[in-house]
Structure 1
Amino acid sequence: MKYNVLGVILVFLSGSLYSQGVVTVDGFIADPAEEKVLSDVLIYLEGSTSAITTNEKGAFSMRFVSEKDTVLVFSRVGYKKATYEIDHAPTDEHLSLNIELVPAVSDLEVVVQSTISHQPGMVVEDMSEIKLLPSVTGNLENILPHIALGVSGGTGGELSSQYNVRGGNYDENLVYVNDFQIYRPQLIRSGQQEGLSFPNPDLVRDITFSSGGFSARYGDKMSSVLDIKYKRPDSAAYSAEVSLLGASAHLEGSKSLGSSRYKKFRYLAGARYRSTSYLLNSLDIKGEYLPKFADVQSYMTYDLSESWQAGVMLNYNRSVFDFQPQTRSTAFGLIDYTLNLSSSFSGAEKDLFETAMAGVSVTYLPPKKKNPFFLKFLASTYSSAESENFDIISTYNLSQIETSIGAENQGEAIALVGEGIQHEYSRNLLLSNVSNFEIKGGLEKNNFSATGKDQSHFLQWGLKFQHEDIRDRLHEWERLDSAGYSLPFSENEVLLNKVFQSRNSISSQRMEAYLMESYNLRNRDRSLWTFEGGVRASYWSLNEELNISPRAQILYRPLGKENNQVWKLAGGLYYQPPFYREFRRLDGSLNQAIKAQKSMHLVLGYSTDFYWERINAKMRFMTEAYYKRLDDLIPYDVNNVRIRYYGDNLAMGQVMGVDFRLNGELVPGAESWINVSFLKAVEKWDGIEHEKLLEGIGNVEKTEFVPRPTDQRVTASVFFQDYLPQNENFKIHLSLNFGSGLPFGTPGDNIQLRNPFRYKIYYRVDAGFSAQLWDKAWISKRPHNPLRFAENAWLSLEVFNLLQVANTASVTWIKAVNNVQYSVKNNLTSRRVNLKLRFEF
């Protein structure tokens, strides 16, 4: 067997383990109780995300390279999962199977969820392999640049769980967990303050992600949707993990209550703790970092009867960031002109981000064989208390250092360029409470024709009411003293460079509704057309604005072909009413007459499956080209992960680009991904004649459009997995990220000549080495193994930033004695090694 190792870092390796054959499996799948064949049954190899489905006659055919014993899985919504074990075949083999699936007695949660989609842009991934990926934060969102289209981590880099999608910012992404909408803290200004995001990877079953053109059933954001489904356990299982960065544990299970076969209680619970002190000590600013992040959450369901199910979700998250800076020394510039910033600090920072969420759902699904429908009721409340407190004085000097080769004073300061004091003070407090109630439903109608043209309708609708209370206290200022003069200078008084101060209390209500219809037309053995149209309506009491947003998409899939092609055309209007930060101006005042930002999406997508004979692997290629027109934009500046909005609808813009994704088992049994994206995101302000820099110092010219802060022209990410030819229990995970520089501008002067500079290119390599220490199947060979108390045990060694690249998160502006400002880079983390031990029971 040959193993092809893809990578920029690794070289090609090849080797032969033992002989193998190509297994072809075909057959039919039926429901014996209803005496009918089953279409759209999902068929895949256990541990792989590549899949096929049965046609309208219940027939299927697939082939794969047999390099080990394999389990074939048959899954369909509303039916119990079936498996079939296939022994390793050293030569070509053909199997014919007739499979009967048994209807699930009570599986309401699965029935009302959308089935796995093969649409371009709707990426569905199982969590079984993702848990082993090397990740600095351990948050689920860090894997999105590898598996989804058009996603990048922005300036927050590896320390942040926030992400940009196709020219949008962090606030333009929807996140759902089991249909509950998830909110994020608002005051976080740097990735190092960020703690644990809401989704707990140990509880997740699968994720679905759309980068644009999503349907009307999803809410009012302009960029993307991350739809997460938690597990629905049928048996008890546990896990525990400990590493140099923290620890986590989870439990899951189910229990029948009483004599009725329907009354079943299922539970999931997880707890996490993380501290990034070890990572943050590699930053340029030296000091005492004491971050402490912890959360606990649970999801429980109870089948009240055959038709009713209740669910409860609970979450509590606490993030504390304590920091006492001491010194900093950063060199920057060119070979012939190098500067060094030396700083000493006094003071400290202490931030607290505390959030809690509780949600209740009730699902009604009557056992109807014809025209099934469902109703789901959801109620939730989200509360957060965010406190940001720092009082830090930085005494700095900026010096030119000698760089001449052979000079006696090489590396020493030869000229003082600037010196001064920067005093930053903040006492910010934000209290948020969001409560909502939602009802949604769906009705399905099928019409199977003897002529071979089958039709199906799926009508969905929803109503939502939301109440919001925001209490904000903003008290923040900055004092600059350069060369003995307080800036801005006054002979009569000491003036502060920046002052933000306000007290705001806002109470408002939102109402949302949607109606959508999905129509499928199947011409047997020839084609499948899907037409989806819908409309959303939203109203916000604060600005009394009513928004109507139609959305539609068309999918075409030719049948009878092995490569499973899908074409997609999608478009619509996407409104984003402000939440809070968007209508708070820079001075802290509120613009209650603000309007929703608007985005028109047009997306053309294509995907296909193909067999790569050279490496004996089934692959999937996916691409989307898109155009977005943006109106009533609220401009903003980004510093690290903090977004500061201007608080008015001042601009319009446009984003265009193309995304590519290739995934498959480059190595049998190990999924790998390659994502590449190109985009251009620009904007223009009303009544402003923008300028752009030309070659040469100070040369500018007029321009109509200027870069948006998210104008990252090229991004690429690769995730590759492999294992030793002689030992599949030792796996290698390689993660590569690349992004061209994001634009930024000079503070206080970033409107006419907007975002003229760019950060340097971001690139990073993380590597993980995982060894399976124990598998319960080994008990007969190793009956006295000290790890026999566990089902599985893994030991992982993670190397973060393998190439030790100094990536930039933000810049600090230093003013010299000649009134020239210098931008000093604030770098992200350097190389670090993490050891992780994981047990599954």
Structure 2
Amino acid sequence: MKINIPLLLALFCLPFLGFSQTATVKGVILDDAQLPIVNVNIKAGNNGTTTNENGFYELKIPANTDVTIVFTHLSNKRIEATFNLKNGQELEFNPVMKTEIEQIATVVINSNTRQSVEGVTSITPEVIRTIKGAQPGVENILKTLPGVNVSNELSTQYSVRGGNFDENLVYVNEIEVYRPFLIRSGQQEGLSFVNTDLVQNVDFSAGGFQAKYGDKLSSVLDITYRNPIKFGVRADLSLLGGSIAAEAVSKDSKFSGIVGLRYRDNSLLINSLETETNVEPVFADAQTYLTYKFSDKFHLNFLGNVSLNKYNFKPQNRQTNFGTIDEPVALLVFYEGQEKDQYLTTFGAFKANYFASEDLTLKLIASAYHTTEEEYFDILAQYRLGEVNSNIGDENLGEVEFSEGIGSQLTHARNDLDALIFNVEHKGDYKVDDESTIEWSVKYTHEDIRDRLVEWEVIDSAGFSVRPPIFDIPNNQPYAPFEGPLEAFQNVRATNGVQIDRLQAYGQWSKRTMLGNNEVFYNAGVRVHNWTVNSDIPNQDGVSSSTQTVFSPRAQFAIKPDWEKDMLFRIAGGVYYQPPFYRELRDSSGTVQPNVKAQKSFHLVLGHEYSFKIWDRPFKLVSEAYYKNITDVNPYTLENVRIRYRAKNNAEAYAYGLDMRLNGEFVPGTESWFSFGYLKTEENIDDRGYISRPTDQRLKFGVLFQDYMPNLPNLKMYLNLVYNTGVPGGSPSYADPYQYQNRLRDYKRADLGINYVFVDQNKTYKTGWKRHFKELTFGFEIFNMFNVQNSITNTWVRDVYSKRQFAIPNYLTPRVFNVRLSTRF
């Protein structure tokens, strides 16, 4: 198999021949009293095993074929279950052995039918943990999917099909999670909430999702943390930090728990940037997911998280070269001062599950999220903007010889935020018959946010203080002195106390049946969301309270024709609302506007899936065309990862595009995919005409590729490639965005990882030091392998002579090397 990538990768991109394909079925076998059964005989063909004293078993079976496993015991009726699993897939199967009724079951895992009909992309934890990136985790995988834009490797934020970072829902075990409010750059983010060491399953939907998911406009990321079935420890160590996760289960299998600790230090990445700094970016968190089974009908879960982000930043100097070969220009900056940020978040949630019968399940979820955030900085930047010596051989090559702009910028902030969010929710689902299910929920949320915002910026150009261009006083700086009072170029001061009460509910019906010889799936539902905003301080119009209600009907239909070719067609749509969260209520002056409406979007998604085989290996082509019509739009500006809203519903927008993804076993035993996305999204502000939205990214190509050496299969290669066309580069402060529609450079990035596997499920040892490990890998990683200069935003610097403003690109990380050790006991 020939791989058309650089010679550096060629040695690692050869197919592996002759490797047997297997999958794993494991679990705990219980009796009627929910107690583990010892010495259950488990057999599949010539392979067999027995359960231990905890009722645990683990069995290897052939992949990509129907395999019947037989469970037998002297005191219980036997069970037969048929499986069809992918190569390398692990399935947890926990049967209950009855003393009365013989049980025969067929488990349909082949082709992920549920995800297909619902328009959900499912990602395995093994892929998440192995694929390399400067910001590892779920978000690192999402950026290779079509329709998803992650153009900042230091950030865990992503935009989907033209939406912004605030338009994405994230759930962990049906519990909605939040992210900090004040973070303004990817350097400050640190860790994603999702701990990949705890993950069992990841589902992602980029639009047209069901009513059971909340009120956001763009996407749903639905994470499931696993319930352990035996003791285990997983550890990971690299130059960027480390993680450890431990899991265990009690002897009676009633209590199980998993705990994860993570530490990350981004100094290796931040010190590679063009700004020379003394920086201490330290991020740490602890998470746990616990389950106690009081009986076979009542289970109680707890999800907890404590996260601390500390970011101490002392910039020293920076030089950015830009312009053209004929007219090179450079920006030199010398800094004084520092920035100190701290974000402490705690989160806890209880989830009670009551299995009233085989058809009825009732749930009660109560959660609390608390964040205290501090953002303090005083930074003086003195800059020179000038022409660069481009004479090859000159001893001053690359230095600024003629200054076109000289000035300074002093920025100050003392921002504090304290937010407390409570949720109480009842959920239920009732299986009407073998084909139909009804699901419902009622949820109450209380949000209490206390916020002090103090930011100002003073700009000096050639000895003259630059005033904000929003006053009618004549000002001809820097050519003539200004005799009016001094005024900061930007000055935002606000103190807010806001309470938001929300009442949400949904009901939906799903049915899977036959239409002639064709399989069909229906889903229809509606959400209702009522919210009341109360502000301690009235806005400019004297408004301090507002109550609004929205209804969101949604529907899906899928059909799998009885054709020789394995195809599925899907259509989904509905009206989606996004009631404003706190940041969407706060305008550019820091004032809260309680009467901001919910943004409204009509979704229409047409999907097609085609499953086929090449080289006798499975492949799938997934295509989706989509259209969004968005009204009551709240326009915003994007500064790195900070979003600043206008807190006005004075725009309308649209988005449409095409997403395609081809995934399969390009190399036997590994999953890889190639994705393509086309997007166009524009907005019309105050009826002035349509311009590109900040997330208007036209073309997207993503590749996730895995390979290994044919004669050395333990040497594995993981490649993560992303190419995005540039998004709009933004505009200077107070500028009209209609006059600034230039785009940033195209985003091109390749991350490579090469691992040597000492121990894994296919290579175990019974003697020697390796016998203590279930997995042991060591490797190195190359981030931004081709050292491409990508930029995320522009810094705007004015020319003192012509009054022009130059867009200086803020470049992201260059090539960085890392080493990593991963193990599991």
Candidates 450, 456, 464, aligned match of 1:471: 450
Aligned to 1:537: 528
**CA–CA distance in 2 between the matches of 1:16 and 1:624?**
30
**CA–CA distance in 1 between the matches of 2:105 and 2:82?**
18
Candidates 794, 802, 817, aligned match of 1:811: 794
Q: Is 1:516 equivalent to 2:514 in the alignment?
A: no
Q: Is the 8 A contact 2:237 2:822 kept in 1?
A: yes
Aligned to 1:735: 720
Amino acid at match of 1:178: N
**CA–CA distance in 2 between the matches of 1:729 and 1:343?**
48
Q: Is 1:640 equivalent to 2:640 in the alignment?
A: yes
List aligned pairs for 1:80-95, cutoff 5 A: none
Q: Is the 8 A contact 1:402 1:413 kept in 2?
A: yes
Q: Is 1:837 equivalent to 2:821 in the alignment?
A: yes
Q: Is 1:279 equivalent to 2:269 in the alignment?
A: yes
Aligned to 1:152: 149
**CA–CA distance in 2 between the matches of 1:331 and 1:319?**
32
Q: CA offsets per residue over residues 436-474 of structure 1, 9 Å max, x none?
A: 100010111226xxxxxxxx1111100000000000100
Query: Structure 1 residue 14: deviation in Å?
Result: 8.4
Amino acid at match of 1:789: H
Q: Is the 8 A contact 1:47 1:669 kept in 2?
A: no
Q: Is 1:198 equivalent to 2:182 in the alignment?
A: no
**CA–CA distance in 1 between the matches of 2:21 and 2:250?**
42
Candidates 115, 118, 121, aligned match of 1:117: 115
- SS at the partner of 2:644? strand
Candidates 349, 365, 373, aligned match of 2:360: 373
Amino acid at match of 1:384: T
Amino acid at match of 1:151: V
Aligned to 1:385: 372
Amino acid at match of 2:441: G
Q: Is 1:172 equivalent to 2:172 in the alignment?
A: no
List aligned pairs for 1:56-135, cutoff 5 A: 79=95, 116-119=114-117, 121-135=119-133
**CA–CA distance in 2 between the matches of 1:297 and 1:714?**
37
Q: Is 1:826 equivalent to 2:810 in the alignment?
A: yes
Aligned to 2:488: 496
Q: Is the 8 A contact 2:117 2:521 kept in 1?
A: no
Amino acid at match of 2:346: A
**CA–CA distance in 2 between the matches of 1:776 and 1:674?**
27
Q: Is the 8 A contact 2:701 2:723 kept in 1?
A: yes
Aligned to 1:249: 244
Amino acid at match of 2:487: L
- SS at the partner of 1:565? strand
Candidates 696, 709, 723, aligned match of 1:724: 709
Q: Is the 8 A contact 1:640 1:810 kept in 2?
A: yes
Q: CA offsets per residue over residues 138-180 of structure 1, 9 Å max, x none?
A: 232221122x4411114xx111100000000000000000010
Q: Is the 8 A contact 1:373 1:442 kept in 2?
A: yes
- SS at the partner of 2:572? strand
Q: CA offsets per residue over residues 355-381 of structure 1, 9 Å max, x none?
A: 10000010011343xxx1111110000
- SS at the partner of 1:582? helix
**CA–CA distance in 2 between the matches of 1:142 and 1:18?**
29
Amino acid at match of 2:294: L
Bigger drift between 128-137 and 458-467 goes to 128-137
Q: CA offsets per residue over residues 500-548 of structure 1, 9 Å max, x none?
A: 1100001120000001001222257x21111111000000012311000
Q: TM-score, normalised by structure 2?
A: 0.85
- SS at the partner of 1:471? strand
Q: CA offsets per residue over residues 592-626 of structure 1, 9 Å max, x none?
A: 1110001110000001111113xx42101001000
Do the aligned partners of residues 745 and 520 (structure 1) sit closer, same or farther apart at CA in structure 2, a change above 3 Å counting? Answer: same
Q: Is the 8 A contact 1:806 1:827 kept in 2?
A: yes
- SS at the partner of 1:766? strand
Q: Is the 8 A contact 2:514 2:520 kept in 1?
A: yes
**What residue ranges of structure 1 are gaps of 5+ in the alignment?**
24-32, 34-44, 65-69, 82-98, 105-109, 258-262, 448-455, 690-703
List aligned pairs for 1:654-733, cutoff 5 A: 654-687=654-687, 689=688, 704-733=689-718
**CA–CA distance in 2 between the matches of 1:779 and 1:643?**
50
**CA–CA distance in 2 between the matches of 1:49 and 1:140?**
26
Aligned to 1:450: none
Candidates 764, 777, 798, aligned match of 1:794: 777
Do the aligned partners of residues 586 and 72 (structure 1) sit closer, same or farther apart at CA in structure 2, a change above 3 Å counting? Answer: closer
Q: Is 1:745 equivalent to 2:699 in the alignment?
A: no
Q: Is 1:764 equivalent to 2:749 in the alignment?
A: yes
Query: Structure 1 residue 232: deviation in Å?
Result: 1.6
Query: Structure 1 residue 430: deviation in Å?
Result: 1.1
Bigger drift between 767-776 and 197-206 goes to 767-776
Aligned to 1:234: 229
- SS at the partner of 1:806? coil
- SS at the partner of 2:141? helix
- Size of the aligned set, in residue pairs, is 746
Q: CA offsets per residue over residues 214-248 of structure 1, 9 Å max, x none?
A: 00000000000000001121111111111101010
Do the aligned partners of residues 149 and 398 (structure 1) sit closer, same or farther apart at CA in structure 2, a change above 3 Å counting? Answer: closer
Q: Is the 8 A contact 2:386 2:403 kept in 1?
A: yes
Q: Is 1:484 equivalent to 2:471 in the alignment?
A: no
Candidates 593, 606, 609, aligned match of 2:608: 606
Aligned to 1:96: none
**CA–CA distance in 2 between the matches of 1:268 and 1:717?**
33
Amino acid at match of 2:147: G
Q: Is 1:505 equivalent to 2:497 in the alignment?
A: yes
Q: CA offsets per residue over residues 394-420 of structure 1, 9 Å max, x none?
A: 111111123245667643433210101
Query: Structure 1 residue 726: deviation in Å?
Result: 1.2
Do the aligned partners of residues 751 and 245 (structure 1) sit closer, same or farther apart at CA in structure 2, a change above 3 Å counting? Answer: same
**CA–CA distance in 1 between the matches of 2:222 and 2:786?**
34
Q: CA offsets per residue over residues 648-694 of structure 1, 9 Å max, x none?
A: 1110000000000010111111110111100100000124x3xxxxx
Q: Is the 8 A contact 1:663 1:672 kept in 2?
A: yes
- SS at the partner of 1:131? helix
**CA–CA distance in 2 between the matches of 1:777 and 1:639?**
47
Pairwise CA RMSD: 3.0
Q: Is 1:553 equivalent to 2:556 in the alignment?
A: yes
Q: Is 1:332 equivalent to 2:322 in the alignment?
A: yes
Q: Is the 8 A contact 2:730 2:794 kept in 1?
A: no
Bigger drift between 811-820 and 704-713 goes to 811-820
Q: Is 1:208 equivalent to 2:203 in the alignment?
A: yes
**CA–CA distance in 1 between the matches of 2:514 and 2:347?**
43
**CA–CA distance in 2 between the matches of 1:478 and 1:766?**
37
Query: Structure 1 residue 776: deviation in Å?
Result: 7.6
**What residue ranges of structure 2 are gaps of 5+ in the alignment?**
23-31, 33-58, 69-79, 468-476, 534-545
**CA–CA distance in 2 between the matches of 1:285 and 1:408?**
23
**CA–CA distance in 1 between the matches of 2:214 and 2:774?**
41
Query: Structure 1 residue 130: deviation in Å?
Result: 2.2
Candidates 109, 113, 138, aligned match of 1:140: 138
Query: Structure 1 residue 751: deviation in Å?
Result: 3.7
Aligned to 1:527: 518
Aligned to 1:86: none
Aligned to 1:354: 344
- SS at the partner of 1:541? strand
Q: Quick one: percent identity of the two aligned structures?
A: 37
**CA–CA distance in 2 between the matches of 1:440 and 1:184?**
24
List aligned pairs for 1:333-482, cutoff 5 A: 333-368=323-358, 372-405=359-392, 410-446=397-433, 456-482=435-461
**CA–CA distance in 1 between the matches of 2:579 and 2:233?**
42
**CA–CA distance in 2 between the matches of 1:197 and 1:63?**
30
Do the aligned partners of residues 659 and 521 (structure 1) sit closer, same or farther apart at CA in structure 2, a change above 3 Å counting? Answer: same
Query: Structure 1 residue 287: deviation in Å?
Result: 1.1
Query: Structure 1 residue 338: deviation in Å?
Result: 1.2
Query: Structure 1 residue 121: deviation in Å?
Result: 3.4
Q: CA offsets per residue over residues 114-147 of structure 1, 9 Å max, x none?
A: 984223731012112321111212232221122x
Aligned to 1:67: none
Aligned to 1:566: 568
Q: TM-score, normalised by structure 1?
A: 0.84
